[in-house]
Amino acid sequence: MDFRHFQTFVIAAEELHFGRTADRLGIAQPAVTQQMKTLETQLGFKVFHRVRRGIELTAAGAVFLEHAKATLAQAHTAIMAGRRASRGELGKLCIAYANSAVLEPELLALLRRFAQEKPDVELELRSVSVQEQMRALADDRIDLAFLRSPPGPLPNFIKITPFSRTPLDLVMSADHRCAARKRLSLRDVAQDRFIVVDDPPGLGLGHRVVELCLEAGFEPNVFLRTTDSLGVVSFAAAGLGVGLVPRSLSRYPVEGAVCKPLSIANGFSEVVIASRAYDRSAATRAFLGLLPSVG
């Protein structure tokens, strides 16, 4: 059934005159008459009967009028919701993140701004390992992933967007021989045991730490692997070794741990965003569209 017939019927019920209805719709009166005949044929009952000065609703037409108004209102709501969804203002956005990435102020600022600008988009945030992030992107179980570079070999459908860069600090126990010094190089702790995040080879912060040590001229003695950067800080505080952690973690002090800046130019860790290259989600596009304004 054509929604235009519903609209014409509602206006005709307000005007009770086909001529005035035609004027409001900007069409010829015979077109209004034909639409109402078609509507009555489809409905199987009369909605109007003619009187000397126009038309009147039948008893069935009066009942049908209330439902027609409700139907038009629901159709308008559906159209508006569809338009908002097409602009990324409705729906759901599922974001995965590496544990240390969620501490970055740039990420928190981006999430805050998106929530303010798109308050009707439901956000789902998950702490997920790098390997699981890639599988979840492939299976459409998440929309975006924030992870630490390097992301390792990636399938063709994954797009990587640089996001933020954070200095790495050396973390050690308060009674470490270098704890009183203001700035250190990796060579200063080359003989120490290292605590690293247990990332797979070639991935994330775990790989970045080994990479920096090799660039400094030594292979780190990896004594302990842990699930996240907070574990590196905690175990370093216990005197089990030293480690490298993002500076953003220093905002969350652990008793007995000391963080020292590195005296190397490339002593940083980069957070990147992984997304599907073919993703047409309006909410995803709206989120990524905020990136140039962050920071």
Q: Parallel, antiparallel, or unpaired: how do β-strands 121-127 and 193-197 relate? A: unpaired
Q: pLDDT for 221-258, tens place per residue?
A: 998 999 888 899 999 999 999 999 999 887 778 899 99
Please say whether the beta carbons of 106 and 145 come within 8 A. Answer: no
Please report the domains of the chain, with CATH numbers, ordered by start residue: 3-86 (1.10.10.10), 91-163+271-293 (3.40.190.10), 165-269 (3.40.190.10)
How confident is the model at residue 70, as a pLDDT?
A: 84
Say yes or no to pLDDT of 85 above 80. Answer: no
Q: Report the pLDDT averaged over residues 147-165.
A: 86
Summarize the confidence of residues 107-117 as an average pLDDT: 92
User: Rounded to an integer, what is the distance from CA 261 to the centroid of its chain?
Assistant: 32
Q: What per-residue confidence (pLDDT) applies to 294?
A: 41
Pairing between β-strand 193-197 and β-strand 221-226 as defined by DSSP bridges = parallel
pTM score of the predicted model: 0.66
